[in-house]
Amino acid sequence: MTLGPIGGSSGSDAIRAVEAVIATASLCRQCIVARTALPDRDVEIALRVLIRTSGVQLADVCDSCDSASTAFTGPMSNRDTTASAS
């Protein structure tokens, strides 16, 4: 039983690519696939890893296609934490 990736370094490359496209926008999985040109399965795996390790959050709406499916956004887009006007 091996736990490591079999196909080389494509896994971490996929994670970086996904992380890059959601760093500045909320995107659903389909749009992430379209923007990264990665296989859907690689995007799904990368998202799971990022949610656990990089604080990627879920959003309600995709900024790109306005679909109501679950979107993903990077941990740095925390606009709502300090936005309350005093």
Q: Do 29 and 47 contact (CB within 8 A), yes or no? A: yes
Site mask, Zn ion, residues 39-68, x = CB under 5 A? Answer: -----------------------x-xx-x-
Residues 50, 29 contacting (CB under 8 angstroms): no
* Identity of the residue, 11 or 63, whose beta carbon is nearer to Zn ion in the bound complex: 63
Is 25 one of the binding residues for Zn ion (CB under 5 A)?
no
DSSP secondary structure of 54-73:
S--EEESS-TTT--SS-EEE
Residue nearest to Zn ion (CB): 62
Binding site for Zn ion (CB under 5 A): 28, 31, 62, 64-65, 67
